[in-house]
């Protein structure tokens, strides 16, 4: 009898979870779009595709996809440089690359990326989001680069202090952050309604009731926000800048989605994620978003965790959240027009703060100092240079660190041989790489000068080209000097 009740109960749990996820996703979809320099509805379109397209595909059963705060910085740069049509082409290409990577079985390889690089990447994004959105909270225009955003903050404080309109907007943003921070302390029943939604609704009500002179979200309507990429947008594809941006989108969107999948798998005991299928599902979603001229999507841990915690059992909940987003965007578009931009900026400042691994950093420093250094350098590079190059610097550092740790080389000579006066047999074992060359050559050069040497390399597990050349060069030099010294001694 219990069995006959379980499908309706499961269905009820999924419907409830889908409403919670919709309420979490709504302010984030709109906020990420506005912060990316795209129409508010473009974020909703991505959320709808994340639910109705990616949500139906195999991969991960409970994680939810949509526009992510983590790509805001890159998307904003792409919109400024290539326009919304150009962004559509970039997102379409990103989707195609993800589909290919998934089909070729690269999905599980993304799990091999150093956690320090990923956390550093998210921390760097968080810092750039916070720095940029503090300007939006005051209805001011943010400078373009990361360092300019940071150095401009004292000036922003002075501007806010001197303008009642900016002060009102900043108050709305700060109030939004305060509500979200305090909402976590509310009783569990109240927390069923997401804090971001409560904060945005409260801020909107305050701005309306007090008739505050703050910027509101511009509304274009759902169909008015679809911008299909045109032939001239595809004409730009050859540019190196476009290819670099596609690679950056692919790397970050794929890594964020698959790391999110791994985290979501830890939250529930249902079916595990198939990483390759999940990567393909993300690819299909991004290809559709690109054709519609919407924002790129990733799986988002905040929405996914909300889905699991709200009791979702099957993928029905994530599909339904897309249905609710579609109904909202189609039936109540004007509701977006009363939301203050400063409130959405507050939501994103809070989201950016959550991306900073403040609690993990101290234990990481104690246990794995090298990893902590990589995390901080990656984050700093993203703020100072840009997203893509920052991640590449982090990846390069983690490769060098791993190579350094694994390349141990030992140079051994038999003690009895050393005390005699004949030829020496020197055994070199371990991994001889260019990173350990100085140490290896120092050991060899400490050997007695006048005695010929034979090298025994049978103990080497790996030897790179640089080490091989250095060893051959040193051996020839040493033995010719020994021979010369022997000749001098005999004469």
pLDDT digits (tens, 9 = 90+) for 326-383: 988 888 778 878 888 898 888 888 888 887 888 878 887 888 888 888 889 988 888 8
pLDDT reported for residue 336: 78
Domain C-terminal end among 369, 401, 433: 401
Look at the block and give the residue holding tokens 């030897």. Answer: 463
Specify whether 463 is located in the same domain as 318: no
Instruction: Tell me the pairing of strands 65-66 and 298-299.
Output: antiparallel
Beta bridge pairs of residue 298: 66
Specify whether 344 is located in the same domain as 463: no
Q: Cα-flanking dihedrals φ and ψ of residue 424, to 5°?
A: -110, 140
Q: What CA–CA distance (Å, rounded) separates 273 from 107?
A: 11
Specify whether 302 is located in the same domain as 436: no
Confidence grade of residue 1 (pLDDT, cut at 50, 70, 90):
very low
Specify whether 479 is located in the same domain as 345: no
Q: Is residue 7 included in any domain, yes or no?
A: no
Share of the chain above pLDDT 70, in %: 96
Q: What CA–CA distance (Å, rounded) separates 304 from 267?
A: 10
User: Residue 268: helix, strand or coil by DSSP?
Assistant: coil
What H or E segment, with its residue span, contains residue 429?
Answer: strand 424-432
Specify whether 392 is located in the same domain as 432: no
Specify whether 384 is located in the same domain as 466: no
CB 179 within 8 A of CB 195: yes
Structural domain harbouring 426 = 409-490
Q: Is residue 358 included in any domain, yes or no?
A: yes
Averaged confidence pLDDT in the chain: 84
Domain C-terminal end among 354, 369, 401: 401
Mean predicted confidence (pLDDT) in 207-232:
79
Beta bridge pairs of residue 324: none
Q: What CA–CA distance (Å, rounded) separates 361 from 99?
A: 34
Q: Does residue 112 carry a pLDDT above 70?
A: no
Q: Is residue 341 included in any domain, yes or no?
A: yes
Q: Is residue 212 included in any domain, yes or no?
A: yes
CB burial string 83-115: b at 16+ within 10 A, e below:
bbbbbbbbbbbbbbbbbebbeeeebeebeebbb
Q: What CA–CA distance (Å, rounded) separates 348 from 35?
A: 8
Q: What is the pLDDT of residues 66-84, one digit of tens each?
A: 998 778 888 988 888 888 8
Q: Does residue 192 carry a pLDDT above 50?
A: yes
Mean predicted confidence (pLDDT) in 252-277:
80
Mean predicted confidence (pLDDT) in 108-113:
70
Q: What is the pLDDT of residues 402-424, one digit of tens each?
A: 777 777 888 888 877 777 777 88
Specify whether 420 is located in the same domain as 277: no
Domain count, the chain: 2
Least confident of 221-230, 373-382, 471-480: 221-230
pTM beyond 0.75, yes or no: no
Domain C-terminal end among 401, 423, 454: 401
Specify whether 182 is located in the same domain as 291: yes
Confidence grade of residue 6 (pLDDT, cut at 50, 70, 90):
low
pLDDT reported for residue 91: 95
CB 138 within 8 A of CB 342: yes
Say which DSSP state 144 is in: S
Specify whether 55 is located in the same domain as 19: yes
Say which DSSP state 1 is in: -
Specify whether 468 is located in the same domain as 357: no
Beta bridge pairs of residue 412: 427
Look at the block and give the residue holding tokens 């599902």. Answer: 281
Q: Is residue 300 included in any domain, yes or no?
A: yes
pLDDT reported for residue 53: 93
Specify whether 148 is located in the same domain as 273: yes
Specify whether 346 is located in the same domain as 427: no
Q: Is residue 1 included in any domain, yes or no?
A: no
């Amino acid at each position: 009898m219990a069995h006959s009740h379980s499908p309706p109960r499961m269905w009820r749990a999924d419907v409830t979870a889908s409403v919670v996820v919709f309420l979490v996703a709504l302010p984030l979809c709109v906020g990420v779009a506005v912060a990316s320099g795209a129409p508010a509805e473009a974020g909703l379109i991505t959320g709808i595709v994340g639910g109705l397209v990616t949500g139906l595909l195999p991969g991960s059963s409970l994680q939810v996809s949509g526009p992510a705060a983590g790509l805001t910085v890159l998307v904003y740069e792409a919109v400024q440089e290539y326009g919304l049509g150009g962004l559509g082409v970039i997102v379409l290409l990103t989707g195609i690359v993800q589909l290919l990577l998934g089909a070729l079985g690269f999905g599980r390889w993304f799990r091999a990326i150093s956690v320090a690089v990923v956390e550093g990447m998210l921390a760097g994004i968080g810092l750039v989001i916070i720095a940029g959105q503090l300007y939006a909270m005051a209805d001011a225009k943010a400078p373009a680069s990361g360092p300019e955003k940071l150095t401009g903050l004292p000036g922003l404080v002075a501007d806010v202090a001197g303008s009642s309109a900016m002060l009102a907007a900043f108050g709305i943003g700060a109030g939004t952050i305060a509500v979200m921070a305090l909402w976590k302390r509310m009783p569990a029943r109240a927390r069923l309604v997401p804090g971001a939604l409560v904060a945005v609704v409260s801020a909107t009500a305050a701005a309306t009731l007090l008739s505050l002179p703050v910027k509101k979200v511009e509304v274009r309507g759902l169909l008015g926000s679809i911008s299909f990429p045109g032939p001239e947008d595809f004409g730009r594809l050859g540019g190196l800048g476009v290819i670099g941006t596609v690679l950056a989108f692919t790397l970050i969107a794929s890594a964020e989605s698959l790391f999110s999948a791994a985290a979501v798998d830890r939250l529930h005991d249902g079916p595990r994620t198939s990483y390759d299928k999940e990567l393909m599902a993300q690819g299909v979603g991004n290809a559709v978003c690109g054709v519609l001229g919407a924002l790129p999507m990733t799986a988002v841990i905040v929405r996914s965790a909300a889905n699991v915690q709200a009791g979702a059992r099957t993928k029905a909940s994530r599909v339904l959240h897309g249905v609710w987003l579609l109904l909202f965007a189609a039936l109540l578009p004007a509701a977006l027009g009363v939301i203050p931009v400063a409130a959405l900026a507050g939501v994103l400042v809070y989201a950016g703060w959550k991306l900073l691994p403040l609690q993990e950093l101290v234990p990481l420093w104690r246990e794995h100092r090298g990893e902590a250094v990589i995390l901080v350098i990656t984050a700093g590079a993203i703020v100072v240079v840009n997203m893509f190059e920052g991640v590449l610097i982090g990846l390069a550092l983690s490769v060098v660190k791993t190579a350094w740790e694994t390349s141990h080389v030992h140079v051994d000579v038999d003690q009895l041989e050393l005390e005699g006066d004949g030829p020496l047999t020197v055994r070199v074992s371990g991994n001889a790489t260019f990173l350990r060359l100085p140490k290896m050559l120092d050991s060899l050069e400490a050997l007695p000068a006048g005695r010929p040497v034979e090298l025994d390399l049978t103990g080497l597990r790996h030897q790179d080209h640089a080490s091989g050349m250095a060893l051959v060069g040193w051996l020839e030099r040493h033995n010719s000097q020994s021979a010369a010294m022997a000749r001098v001694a005999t004469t």
